[in-house]
Amino acid sequence: MIAQVIVDVAAKQTDRVFEYHIPKELTDVAVGSRVVVPFGRRKVQGFVVGISETTSYTGKLKDLLVVIDELPPLTPELIALSKTLADKIFSYRITILQSMLPRVMKANYRKILVPLTDEIKENTLFKGEPLDLNEVSDLETIIKIKKLIKNNQAKIEYLVENKAKKKQVTAYLLTKTRTEYQDILGGIRTTAKNQRALLNNIVEKYNEYPKLGSTIESELGISSSTLRAAEKKGWLLKKEQEIYRNPLKDFESNASKHSVRLNSEQLDALNSIGTSIEEKEAKTFLLEGITGSGKTEVYLHAISTTLEQNRNALMLVPEISLTPQMVKQVKERFGDNVAVLHSGLSEGEKYDEWRRIRRGEAQVVVGARSAIFAPLKNIGLIVIDEEHESSYKQNDTPRYHARDVALLRSKFHNCPVVLGSATPSLSSRARAQKGRYELLRLTKRANQRSLPKVDLIDLKTVEFAGGQFDLSIPLVDAIKEKIAKKEQVILLLNRRGFASFMLCRNCGFVLKCPNCDISLTLHKDTGQMQCHYCGHKEPIPRKCPHCQSEKIRFLGTGTQKVQEELETLLPDAKILRMDVDTTRRKGSYKKILDSFGNHQADILLGTQMIAKGLDFPNVTLVGVINADTALSLPDFNSSEKTFDLLTQVAGRAGRAEKTGRVMIQTYNPENYAIKLAQNQDYEGFYQKEMQVRFQGNYPPFFYTTLITVTSKNEQSAAKEAFVIKRKLMRELHAPTIILGPTPSSVAKIKNQYYYQILVKYKYEPKLHELLHQIQDDAQLAQKRGLNIYIDNEPERIM
Ligand code: ADP
Ligand code: ZN
Ligand code: ZN
């Protein structure tokens, strides 16, 4: 038998199938298996993508060496999907196969030096063990090694290591009947207290065994030495058992299924989706429901319907709204059938959840973007909540969009996809308009509450509280009023840190990152200037580094600064801050939210991570400190992003009995995105924004592809970009529009210069092939220090 293998070498020449002979001993190999194969002088990992009886290859095929896992990690469906997707998004197939697995399963390659004679083995270099060459860097040792190899005294070998570790615990099994233990107990001295305690426990709780060692120790107050002694005497049998790390252990499932009665809009939506689930239709629904209209309830009911049909359900939520609140709801409804996958889990937890899914032990999977590749079988429903979120698009290779992958999987499984949002992406809404998706609308809040009243505060004319220009008097007054009534406040500021740049008033110098074309942000808590792109840090300057003047100012604002201002203006208020800086440690996110939920603080101040999905009944005021941050970005969808963010964050107010209020501070109160967000008028925004996109020849009227060229040398990046542009111009024709090359809006990041070309097209049959050529040529360009990225339907063009 012959195995077709994609090897773990991401390059143009290796982006194809290689054939290997399957030796008799490796009969457990299947499509989807991870294997180790000889490749040139090395051993590499690979994935089996096909198995056949014969080959057209005339030479002698090499043998497969190892099959890594008992159960092939990927299913035939995912193997096939990797091929379709690689072609669509201009990626190497191996890159996609790798990203379908939890990170710990990525192969670890080690290069080792193995001594060949006993004499050499005793050499100080080896001390009896092979030498890890990845750890050798000094020249002297390198010369020694070369000499050994030349004299045939040692050779280099390549190891493929598996980092993924299963978690094991020690359990104790019984070896005798209960009567036998009783007899033994009778013969033990009364002074041997620990042994008697153990035997007593065995006799009394015979049926509770096997038990975990740690459980026995804590229950009986005995130590592991007693257990070891019991094992020696043959009373107990020790066994290492594999267990799953359970990230949901804090969310006990609540058997009392407090099911709500759906309202008529929710029922209509559910009926349409339910019919599709039952009839196994690969159909896409767009569930457009205002914030608080009960979309989650519709998803959960649809998932129930799916399980009733003996099929499984996959639900995606954006990373930042994968809040404990959301996980809790799903867990309460579906108990141990749920597996979660998101970045808050440890690598080990992720690996274990993933294996539960692969083994068919979970029927419902909830996760962030990459969970779209979950090895779930027999899928009957795919839900994508907050479908407009740009985080569903991966910004690095492979640049896939989870929504596109969902549609591919839906075709394979014949199951519906539900895209839900209060502010659908323009492209999804346009598809619904054309009838390619079925539009389902929820127009009322589920709890009969009206939407909160939204006021715009014009920062050009308003007076500010305190000495800074961040918090207006009306906003501060409203906060005071709410706190006096023991209600809570959420404040959004889309910028972390203290001040966003240092300016010299004498010479105009702005302190920038040495690696990136962006100013450094002052972080008061760490006492450093930080780059938010590359992480560069340096001390806070006292004098201008350029002219040595002491007249320097720190301008712009961030969450740290606003927190300090609030503390001065409202000395009695308790404030929690939530941004990347305060949520770095595992579990801190949940801790902040729990503490706010328990009313241990009056104000939750944070970046956009507080805008989504949170449901706190006692929050009656939401304040947006500066609505213009997203608007000022020079991108085709910055109005859409602004509208989405404001609508979402406004939806956090007044979700329970108390009426909510929203205050948006802005320098652009006349801007249509802000005005329509004030009225939470999504349909109005859709109409207006479609006109703007039409006039600008942007999506959804044109398809777009972004080609980015980067290099340490600015001129070579620009030059290469022009070469690519000329190539495109020769083959493509009107109405296709080719923009650029232009430097990206942050022209340098991590010492790499960025140049980009945007192709906008309606119908361009040659483009696909052309882009594949550009991708192939990219490898040669790489040798000249150039990187070329192709981004199909980019979320950001800046
Ligand atoms: P969305 O996701 O659309 O913003 P949620 O699903 O979070 O809205 O629902 C908002 C609130 O309304 C939640 O507290 C939810 O429990 C409640 N809710 C949902 N459906 C109903 C219903 N049919 N009757 C009463 N309350 C409901
Ligand atoms: Zn200066
Ligand atoms: Zn930087």
- The domain spanning residue 602 has which CATH number? 3.40.50.300
User: Is 278's C-beta closer than 6 angstroms to any atom of ligand 1?
Assistant: no
User: Is 328's C-beta closer than 6 angstroms to any atom of ligand 1?
Assistant: no
Whether the model pTM is above 0.95:
no
What is the per-residue pLDDT for 250? 57
Q: CATH number, domain at 67?
A: 3.40.1440.60
Token pair 């110098």 in the structure block, residue:
509
Average pLDDT over residues 522-530: 89
What is the per-residue pLDDT for 256? 45
Average pLDDT over residues 508-523: 89
Q: Which of 290, 297, 619 to mutate to test the pocket of ligand 1 (most atoms within 8 A of CB)?
A: 297
User: Is 295's C-beta closer than 6 angstroms to any atom of ligand 1?
Assistant: yes
601, 663: one domain? yes
How far, in Å, from the CA of 558 to the mean position of ligand 3? 18
What are the tens digits of pLDDT across the range 231-278? 998 899 888 777 776 665 655 555 445 568 899 999 999 999 999 999
User: Is 292's C-beta closer than 6 angstroms to any atom of ligand 1?
Assistant: yes
Q: Is the pLDDT of residue 296 over 70?
A: yes
Select from 191, 212, 234 the last residue of a domain: 234
Lowest-pLDDT range of 329-333, 657-661, 728-732:
657-661
Average pLDDT over residues 766-775: 92
What is the per-residue pLDDT for 51? 94
Q: Which of 325, 447, 616, 644 to mutate to test the pocket of ligand 1 (most atoms within 8 A of CB)?
A: 447
Q: Which of 257, 296, 614 to mutate to test the pocket of ligand 1 (most atoms within 8 A of CB)?
A: 296
Nearest CA to ligand 1 atom 6: 294
60, 7: one domain? yes
211, 307: one domain? no
Please work out, in degrees rounded to the nearest 5, the angle formed at the alpha carbon of residue 691 by the alpha carbons of 689 and 697. Answer: 100
347, 401: one domain? yes
| Atom number, ligand 1, closest to the C-alpha of residue 289 | 3
68, 206: one domain? no
Nearest CA to ligand 1 atom 10: 292
* Longest pairwise C-alpha distance within the chain: 97
Q: Please report, in range form, the residues annotated as the binding site for Zn(2+).
A: 504, 507, 513, 516, 531, 534, 544, 547
Torsion of CA 362, 364, 367, 372, to 10 degrees: 90
Average pLDDT over the chain reads 88
Contact 219, 153 (CB under 8 A): no
Lowest-pLDDT range of 159-168, 271-280, 290-299, 322-331:
159-168
Sign of CA dihedral 348, 354, 360, 362: positive
More confident residue, 147 or 418: 418
Q: Which of 28-42, 114-128, 189-203, 365-379 shows the highest mean pLDDT?
A: 365-379
| Atom number, ligand 1, closest to the C-alpha of residue 295 | 3
Select from 638, 660, 693 the last residue of a domain: 693
Range of the domain at 593: 453-498+557-693
Return the amino acid letter for 512: K
388, 273: one domain? yes
How far, in Å, from the CA of 296 to the mean position of ligand 1? 7
Q: Identify whether 245 is part of a domain.
A: no
753, 661: one domain? no
User: Is 638's C-beta closer than 6 angstroms to any atom of ligand 1?
Assistant: no
Lowest-pLDDT range of 216-230, 433-447, 455-469, 603-617:
603-617
Query: Tokens at residue 293, please?
Result: 């209209």
Contact 782, 723 (CB under 8 A): no
Domain count, the chain: 6
Average pLDDT over residues 660-683: 93
What is the per-residue pLDDT for 107? 64
User: Is 654's C-beta closer than 6 angstroms to any atom of ligand 1?
Assistant: no
User: Is 446's C-beta closer than 6 angstroms to any atom of ligand 1?
Assistant: yes
Q: Residue 291 CA: which ligand is closest?
A: 1
766, 785: one domain? yes
768, 788: one domain? yes
Q: Is the pLDDT of residue 75 over 90?
A: yes
Residue 119 exposed, middle or buried by CB count within 10 Å (0-12, 13-18, 19+)? exposed
DSSP string across 518-582: SBPEEETTTTEEE-TTT--EEEPPSS-TTT--S-EEEES--HHHHHHHHHHH-TT--EEEESTTT
User: Is 262's C-beta closer than 6 angstroms to any atom of ligand 1?
Assistant: yes
Select from 631, 661, 693 the last residue of a domain: 693
Q: Identify whether 652 is part of a domain.
A: yes
Q: Identify whether 506 is part of a domain.
A: no
User: Is 507's C-beta closer than 6 angstroms to any atom of ligand 1?
Assistant: no
User: Is 261's C-beta closer than 6 angstroms to any atom of ligand 1?
Assistant: yes
Please give the helix or strand (H or E) that residue 760 lies within, else none: strand 752-761
Question: Prior bond to 741 cis, omega within 30?
Answer: yes
What are the tens digits of pLDDT across the range 779-788? 888 888 999 9
477, 619: one domain? yes
784, 687: one domain? no
Average pLDDT over residues 388-401: 92
How far, in Å, from the CA of 745 to the mean position of ligand 3? 14
More confident residue, 728 or 253: 728
User: Is 289's C-beta closer than 6 angstroms to any atom of ligand 1?
Assistant: yes
Contact 680, 454 (CB under 8 A): yes
What are the tens digits of pLDDT across the range 164-183? 666 777 888 888 888 899 99
Q: To the nearest whole percent, how much of the chain has pLDDT over 70?
A: 94
Distance CA 212, CA 172 (A): 6
Q: Where are the beta strands (DSSP E) in 229-290?
A: 236-243, 284-289
Q: Identify whether 47 is part of a domain.
A: yes
Q: Residue 546 CA: which ligand is closest?
A: 2
What is the per-residue pLDDT for 245? 67
Nearest CA to ligand 1 atom 9: 294
